[in-house]
Amino acid sequence: MKLIITLLFSLSAGVAFAEDMSNFACNTTSFAEDFTKKYSKELENVLKEGQKQTESHEKTTERLQSKIIDAGVWTKSEASLYFLSLVNLPEVKEFEERRNKLSAEFKKNNRAISVLDIVTNNNREKINKGTCIFGTSALSSANEANKVNDESWIYLEGKISEFGASKNIKMTE
């Protein structure tokens, strides 16, 4: 038990340390300025990666459903109904709750960035530091949301594959 408590304390201290280090780095004028210059492009890349990931999983899901349809087990309507039933599973709802929390955190940080010019009286140094601090958190939330999204799709794909396999359909390529 003592080991578990020590491990949990170490992990939470590690997260706090990482956040402190990020804030410390953001208080360095040159670092904050460099981060601000790169932030929009980095954010765009993270969001594009999430979209690309979703598109790939949608294609995989369609391919898996097509295998079951082609085997005569489902019609397209039945495939759609089955997929919709999966969305109501507690595990999928849990993924959605995690993703929604991360999305809210992401939006909160981006809103903070959007008003920095007003609250700092257009002080470029303060805007850069604020963008760095809030942007670091926003990027972290967006990356984590992509990870949760990926896990969610993999879970759904697994459920469809399990169903197909239970009907003796070869679900792998």
Cα torsion through 166, 168, 169, 171, rounded to 10: 60
How is the chain split into domains, by residue range? 75-173
Q: What is the reported pLDDT for 19?
A: 46
Q: What is the reported pLDDT for 24?
A: 77
Q: What is the mean pLDDT of the chain?
A: 88
Q: Which of 6-10, 22-26, 55-59, 118-122 has the lowest mean pLDDT?
A: 6-10
If we measure between CA atoms, which residue out of 12, 56, 11 comes closest to residue 157? 56
Could you read off the pLDDT of 32-91 as tens digits, one per residue? Answer: 999 999 999 999 999 999 999 999 999 999 999 999 999 999 999 999 999 999 999 999
Cα torsion through 49, 50, 55, 57, rounded to 10: 110
Could you read off the pLDDT of 11-41 as tens digits, one per residue? Answer: 334 334 344 445 678 999 999 999 999 999 9
**pLDDT beyond 80 at 6:** no
CA distance 160 to 72: 15
